[in-house]
Amino acid sequence: MKEFAGNHFLLIVENNSVPFDKRVWREAVALKDGGATVSVIAPMEGIDSKSFEVIDFINVFRYNLKFSDGSKSGYILEYFLASLKIFLLFHKVWISKGKFQVVHVANPPDIFWPLAIYCKLLNIKFIFDEHDLTPETLLSRFEIAENESGMLFKILKTFQYLSYKYSDAVISTNETYKKKAIDKFPQNRKKIFIVRNGPDTRRFKLVLPNISLKKGKKYLFAYIGIMAVQDGVDYIVNATNLLVSKKNFKDFIVYLIGSGSDLDRLKKMTQEYKLEEYIQFTGRIPDEPALEILSTADICLSPDPYNPLNDSSTMNKVMEFMSLGKPIVSFDLKEARYSAQDAAIYVRNNDINAFTEGILELIKNTEKANMMGVFGKERVEKELSWQKQIINLVNTYKFILSK
């Protein structure tokens, strides 16, 4: 039975294009499979550049957006323009595809609470899907302490509170996010649902390794994800430099899959260290070539440093590495430990030497690495895959539609 037949749902995301944003796309597909008409509003980026297209029976509307250069003023300008363009597209979708019963927005940023108020006036239900803790993102992105954060941090905290307040339901990605949401706005207790980040193992699965990707080296290490300052990809570049220059270990190649505001700096670091032979930047690529790289990898790297955001967040890449049966090197973060458990080794936080030694440990102990990979794959299949999370997503929609 198609439980959502006859409904039109609108999903909105600002910081990633669609279908590149895997979480938003998986949600859209799940709702479409439930019988709903689904539309998505997202920015143009990379290969997702058409202003409108229908993909797998999902309507995708896109707007042209110049992303921030990484500065605070750049983010403010980006979010102002995005808010205006999304508001205009909101009405275009309504006129062209029909009124929607639910608007489902994904953060960051937390700029959609005025739209939540507007939806109440139109008798449209509103879901706030908290992918990241935006106030903590500010602290982590600019490496500042909360007591030195100033007015902008207070504004972000207020926007987060208003997002909770005016939503009909809140989706959190883990228990840490749920607890923070309840602490900020206790009324959330009855309207908050956990939908974790998990790969769809029906589609995201191992393919045949391509040994030519190793370019004559014995080992291949891999990273996939966003490359902003808070993502810590510079730890991989620095660890590579230590392996080559200090540890005299050169029989490896590293693939860095993805893009972000820190990409140019990372490339410059690679050139300064003369590591072009050891580090390959792929940019944003489709799932097929990315899966080929990850399936060939011997070790996968999760370099997110300890900070207020990362310690509380569930990383997509960790789930993806586990689903492919790959051992992981990670810093010792609370939610990373919950997700990966015995599928990763956890090294001293924000320590380049410790991260480097973690890589060497897995190289030397192949039996341990293999056992970690087997454990991670089984954990995803039994508990953390997207197929398991769809149930919680459906329950969220049933909750607000029944109100």
**Distance from C-alpha of 208 to C-alpha of 120, rounded to nearest angstrom:** 50
Residue 203 lies in a domain: no
Residue 3 lies in a domain: no
20 and 74 belong to one structural domain: yes
Residue 206 lies in a domain: no
Predicted local confidence at residue 50, as pLDDT: 95
142 and 216 belong to one structural domain: no
**Distance from C-alpha of 57 to C-alpha of 36, rounded to nearest angstrom:** 10
312-349: b (≥16 Cβ within 10 Å) or e: bbbbbbbbbbbbbbbbbbbbbbebbeebbeebbbbbeb
* 54 within 8 A of 60, measured Cβ to Cβ: yes
Residue 53, strand partner residues:
60
Predicted local confidence at residue 145, as pLDDT: 75
194 and 227 belong to one structural domain: no
Side-by-side strand order, sheet with 299-302: 279-283, 252-257, 219-224, 299-302, 328-331, 344-347
**Distance from C-alpha of 325 to C-alpha of 379, rounded to nearest angstrom:** 10
Summary count for the chain: helices (H), strands (E): 14, 14
Predicted local confidence at residue 380, as pLDDT: 96
390 and 377 belong to one structural domain: no
Residue 204 lies in a domain: no
- Looking up tokens 């250069």 gives 69
192: burial class by Cβ within 10 Å (0-12, 13-18, 19+)? buried
Mean pLDDT by 10 residues, the chain (403 residues): 90 93 94 97 91 97 85 85 95 96 96 96 97 87 75 91 95 94 86 93 93 97 93 97 97 95 95 97 92 98 94 93 97 96 97 98 96 97 94 96 87
- Quick one: residue 225, left, alpha or beta (phi over 0 = left, psi -120 to 50 = alpha)? left
18 and 57 belong to one structural domain: yes
Predicted local confidence at residue 1, as pLDDT: 53
279 and 321 belong to one structural domain: yes
Query: Tokens at residue 157, please?
Result: 């905290």
Query: Tokens at residue 383, please?
Result: 């508990």
Which of 286, 10, 289, 233 is closest to 127 using CA atoms?
10
The domain total for the chain is 2
Query: Tokens at residue 168, please?
Result: 């009909």
Predicted local confidence at residue 66, as pLDDT: 83
Residue 149 lies in a domain: yes
Residue 172, strand partner residues:
130, 194
167 and 217 belong to one structural domain: no
pTM here is 0.88
Q: Domain range for residue 182? A: 8-198+386-402
174 and 110 belong to one structural domain: yes
Cis ω before 289 (30° cut-off from 0): no
179 and 269 belong to one structural domain: no
Predicted local confidence at residue 315, as pLDDT: 92
Query: Tokens at residue 126, please?
Result: 């509103």
Q: List the CATH number of the domain containing 239.
A: 3.40.50.2000
346 and 312 belong to one structural domain: yes
121 and 149 belong to one structural domain: yes
Cis ω before 43 (30° cut-off from 0): no
> Cβ–Cβ contacts within 10 Å for residue 118, how many?
16
